[in-house]
Amino acid sequence: MGGEGGEGGPKGPEPRVVYVLKRIATLLGIRLEKWDKFLAAFQADEPSTRALCRFLDESQDCPFCFIFPSGDAVTANCSDLPTTAQMKKKVIVMHRLQPEIEISKDNMHEAIVFVEITKNVMDLLNMYCQSVYLSTLMNPANQRGWSDLIAKDLMDKYHVFLAQLHVTVGLMK
């Protein structure tokens, strides 16, 4: 992460880490005047720093990294899924779009996707599936080139999926 610079003075955090932390700060609504405190708190948390560096450096072993807000700082974790208690707040997931790509400061915009997950993630999934994907799949212009059998079979299976998703969402409430 940080280290000793070539001229003997301390070097600031790596640009990739600064980029990720600025994105996270934006997603968490951390104001600009609290940025230095946020950065210092993250750098002081050694396990989180190692987890983020592992995500950025190890393409095959660490395809995702979970970020959990905790007070004025955040905790990063590459190995464990979020607990129920952590899911009560917002969780940010960083995911590599392609596992074999090395993440550099030049390709970070294309190599990483940030996803916010909240406690109502299943409600959001249900809403997206009902409104966005269903309307896209049912649009006759999008079904051009499909046989009637394929279109009917796909839509039947998608409606079964939607019904199961609706039941799951209802059971979670």
Q: Does 147 or 78 have the greater pLDDT score? A: 147
Pairing of strands 3-4, 91-96: unpaired
Q: What is the DSSP letter of 6?
A: T
User: What pLDDT digit, counting tens, does each position of 152-168 carry?
Assistant: 999 999 999 999 999 99
List CB contacts of 160: < 8 A, sequence separation 6 or more.
none
Q: Does 3 or 45 have the greater pLDDT score? A: 45
For the segment 41-59, the average pLDDT, to the nearest whole number, is 89
Q: Tell me if 134 sits within 8 A of 156, measured CB to CB.
A: no
How far apart are alpha carbons 90 and 104 in whole angstroms? Answer: 27
pLDDT for res 8:
42
Report the SS3 class of residue 155: helix
